Structure 1
Amino acid sequence: MKALLCKQYGLPESLVLEEVPTPSISKKQVLISVKACGVNFPDTLIIQGKYQFKPAFPFSPGGELAGVVKAVGEEVSHLNIGDSVFAMPGWGGFAEEIAVDASRVFRMPAGMDYSVAASFMYTYGTSYHALKNRAQLQAGETLLVLGAAGGVGLAAVNLGKIMGAKVIVAASSDEKLALCKAYGADECINYQTQDLREALKNLPESNGVDVVYDPVGGAFTEPALRSLNWKGRHLVVGFAAGQIPSIALNLALLKGCSIMGIFWGAFVEKEPKANFQNIQELFDFYQRGILKPHIQKTYNLSEAPQALHDLTQRRAMGKLVIVP
């Protein structure tokens, strides 16, 4: 089988496509024939040694995938050969086949496309955990989404509208804002051509912001936090801008606001029952046709380094997907 391997830390062009043996499985694993693998921001970090987890060399990036079960370990009871599944192995998905712990593998809902299944959990799982469990977003509140056309950002826009919020989106181009508008955004700010803080002040019927969803960091975090209402919640999701901002904590004091960290992977491990409930609710939204993952482009394995480049250069809108 073919796999895109990271043999030393570096940028996407350092990855190599090679023929490797089909992985063997343990008693508690399944072997999956990969049909699609989502491209996520952690993939760009893990190949540079900048992520929380550092797998042994050589490894493949790709933490979120969908495919068909080819073999089942003898202690696995909830999955069968031939099942269409999605899996969250953390890494290893940029390959034609992968061995995954069965606890990280779930049957796909009927009728779901493999590319959609491989684009679902990281973005929507993160955003739903952030908005539901952490911010406790309420209908009628105002949600500001930074980096709103990216994977997690667009998921937050989609979910914010499902949850009944007024959604303000901020992104770096009019093309990205048009996509957000198609997902129900109420107000749009181009923060490449507008000052974020002033634009938020000057929105029609502006009543401030109750929740900020921030996967960007950098220079946009402080003006967004300054726009929060009393008892607002600022959700720290990531740092796509490449800079971790420093915040004067007197802002939190003066506004009575909360700055909340969002680490969905830890939530999955520490609160599996709550995560499972979230997954069931997300599946229900999908089957009702109100949750709609946006896939901008698919790539084959040899093109996967370009997909990672497109993500790091912030050219992606919605999700990018590798189809081996």
Structure 2
Amino acid sequence: MKAIVCTKFGLPNTLKFIEKENPQSKEDEVLVEVKACSVNFPDTLIIQGKYQFRPDFPFSPGSDIAGVVAEVGNSVKHLKKGDEVVGFIPFGGFAEKAVVKAKDCFAKPKGMSMVNASAFLLAYGTSYHALKDRADLQKDETVLILGASGGVGLTALELAKLMGAKVIAAASSDEKLALCKDFGADEIINYNKENLKERVNELTKGKGVDVIYDPVGGNFSEQALRAIAWKGRHLVIGFANGEIPKIPINLTLLKGASIVGVFWGAFAQKEPKKSLENIRELLQWFAQGKLKPHIDKVYSLENAPKALEAMMNRETKGKIVINMTI
């Protein structure tokens, strides 16, 4: 099979496009012929050795896949060879075949393209876990989304609106904010042109925001936290700008606020039943037409390093996907 592999930690241009042997599945796993794999920010970290774990070399990045079951382990009952599926793996998705734990592999809804399916689980799973389980978002609360035009940002925007919240979308350009408006944002902030804290307080008439969805980090995190409402929840999703913020912890005391970590992958492993319930809800909403992944660009497997570079340079809006069939 063909694959993109990382043989040493580094930038995307150090990755190699090679032919390698098919991976072998165990009795509780399925071998999937990968048709598409979306690109997520952790993929840019794992190849640099900056993620929570470091796979042994050589490995392929990519965690969010869609494809067709090629082999089924002896203990797997809910899937069979030939089934179209979506799955989540720690790494290994930038390849023509990948092994997935059966518990992390689900039937793909009919009518969902492979490209859309590959862009679904991690982004929507993260955002729904964040807003539902970690923030306990209530109807009519106000949510501030940083990096709102990004892969997880847009999903958070969709879900927050679906859950009855008011959404303030913040992003780095007017073009990105126009997309946020198309996805239902009530208010927008260009934080490259406006003071984030002052603009949030202006839009909320001094009350502040109930929930901050923060996949960006850096100095924007503190600016946002200074505009949080009483008993607000600041959701830590990631650090797309490359800087982990140093927050004055007294800000939480003054507002009775909480800083809440969100790690969907660990949640899915430690609370599988609850995670499965969330996934079923999300897939049902997709089937009902209430959720629609925004695919910005599609790359071939050979050009996957260019996709990772675009992700690192924050050149994308919504999701970018590696399509194995082009």
TM range (shorter): over 0.9
How many residues in Structure 1 have an aligned counterpart in Structure 2?
324
Write the distance in 1 (CA, Å) between the matches of 2:14 and 2:64. 21
Tell whether 2:66 aligns with 1:66. yes
Per-residue deviation at 1:207?
3.7
Aligned equivalent of 1:228? 228
CA–CA separation in structure 2 for the residues paired with 1:19 and 1:258: 48
How far the C-alpha of 1:204 sits from its partner, in A, is 7.1
Instruction: Spell out, residue by residue over 1:74-125, the C-alpha distance to the aligned partner (whole angstroms, 9 max, x if none).
Output: 2222111110001111110101111222222111112111111110111110
**Aligned counterparts of 2:132 and 2:179: Cα–Cα separation in 1:** 23
The answer to whether the aligner puts 1:308 opposite 2:308 as a matched pair is: yes
Q: Residue 146 of structure 2 corresponds to which residue in structure 1?
A: 146
Tell whether the 8 Å contact from 2:87 to 2:121 is kept in structure 1 after alignment.
no
CA distance in 2, matches of 1:141, 1:299: 38
For residue 19 of structure 1, what is the aligned residue in structure 2?
Answer: 19
1:45 — aligned with what? 45
Aligned-partner Cα distance in 1 for 2:142–2:65 = 33
Matched residue, 2:33: 33
Percent of residue pairs bearing the same amino acid type: 58
Instruction: Name the amino acid aligned to 2:224.
Output: A
* Alpha-carbon separation, structure 1, partners of 2:249 and 2:56: 39
Correspondence for 1:163: 163
Note the alpha carbon deviations across 1:265-322, whole angstroms, 9 max, x for none: 1111111111111111111211111111111010001110010010011111110000
Q: Describe how 1:196-207 pairs up with structure 2 within 5 A.
A: 196-203=196-203, 207=207
Q: Equivalent residue for 1:97?
A: 97
Name the aligned partner's letter for residue 170 of structure 1.
Answer: A
Aligned to 2:77: 77
Q: Distance in 2 between the 1:168 and 1:47 partners?
A: 33
- Deviations 1:24-55, CA, capped at 9 Å, x for gaps: 22222211111100100110011111111211
- Could you say which residue in structure 2 is the equivalent of 1:172? 172
Match of 2:130 in 1: 130
Runs of 4+ in 1 over 3 A off after TM superposition: 204-207
Normalising by structure 2, we get a TM-score of 0.97
TM-score normalised per structure 1 = 0.98
Instruction: Note the aligned Cα RMSD (angstroms).
Output: 1.1
Matched residue type, 1:195: N
**Structure 2 gap segments, 5+ residues each:** none
> What's the CA shift for 1:219?
0.7
Name the aligned partner's letter for residue 170 of structure 2.
Answer: A
